[in-house]
Amino acid sequence: MSEIAPFRSVSSEKLSEQISRQLLERIIAGSYKPGDLLPPERDLATVFGVSRVVVREGLNSLVSKGILTVRQGRGTTVNPIKDWNTLDPEVLMLLHGDQVFDKLIQFRRILEPELAALAAQNITQEELEELHAFSDLPDTDTVEDHVERDTTFHLIIARATQNPVLLIVLTSVSELLRESRRRTFAVPNELAKARDWHLVLYEAISRRDPAAARQAMLTHLSQVESGLKKYNTLYP
């Protein structure tokens, strides 16, 4: 096994998330194997330069993902991979790397064009107004604002199908979609392209034209795929 770099101290916001991410990286790299005990909270707190409360929050995050088990008086152990929540975006990305975004695009191509077509048939006037409100991605917003507006835009389309099962399916990958959007919007000009395609989608759905809505979503997803490839080139 290649040599693993030491843990890095953390100093910015969301410390517990940084700690859980570093621990998960170590577990996936094999530094801690299934059945192994993690260092005690007090030792991790010293290494990371944070309080035990923050360390505990980070550990609890991994417990919630099925990666760790905490037993009173026995410490914290690593669970077998079969017990992990492999639908968790962070776990997926660390297990499969950037390939997970290729799989996500494949998933979206199967699902979202039909969501758009169904939305064009079934959308209510109230939903149409809501879709229009979220179609824009203002330049004055932050990247996280753009991510949330884009996420909401696509969820409105799913809701407008009037099929709650389809909405549940899309919602199940929301966090992975958010990370995909963060990457896409980090690429110059991709935000403007997304804004343009939101407008095309909105207009097709507002005309109640399922075929046009389906094609607009397919083309939009090709633009997203191109943006992700550019991200990988810019930030290898």
pLDDT tens for 39-48 read 999 999 999 9
For residues 142 and 150, what is the distance between their CA atoms, to the nearest angstrom? 12
Q: Average pLDDT, stretch 185-195?
A: 95
In the prediction, which pLDDT does 157 show? 99
153 shares its domain with 202: yes
Same domain, 74 and 187: no
Task: Give CA–CA dist 20/68, Å, rounded.
Answer: 11
Are 132 and 179 found together in one domain? yes
Residue 228 within a domain: yes
pLDDT computed for residue 98 by the predictor: 84
| Judgement on whether residues 150 and 217 belong to the same structural domain of the protein | yes
Instruction: Give tens-digit pLDDT for 107-159.
Output: 999 999 999 999 999 999 999 999 999 999 998 999 999 999 999 999 999 99
Same domain, 149 and 208: yes
Q: Return the pLDDT at 175.
A: 87
Residue 61 lies in a domain: yes
Q: Averaged over 150-174, what is the pLDDT?
A: 97
Say yes or no: 206 and 169 in one domain: yes
| pTM given for the model | 0.78
Hey, how many other C-beta atoms are within 10 angstroms of the C-beta on 177?
A: 23
Q: With respect to residue 9, please indicate whether it lies within any of the assigned structural domains.
A: no
Residue 10 lies in a domain: no
Q: Please, which pLDDT band fits residue 73 given cuts at 50, 70 and 90?
A: confident
Residues 133, 215, single domain; the answer is: yes
Residues 212 and 124 in one domain: yes
- Position 8 scores a pLDDT of 60
Read off φ and ψ for residue 39, nearest 5 degrees: -60, 155
pLDDT band at residue 13, thresholds of 50, 70 and 90? very low
Does one domain contain both 164 and 226?
yes
**What mean pLDDT is predicted for residues 8-29?**
80
**Count of other CB atoms within 10 angstroms of residue 41:** 19
Share of the chain above pLDDT 70, in %: 94
Q: 135 is in which domain, residue-wise? A: 98-234
- The domain tally of the chain equals 2
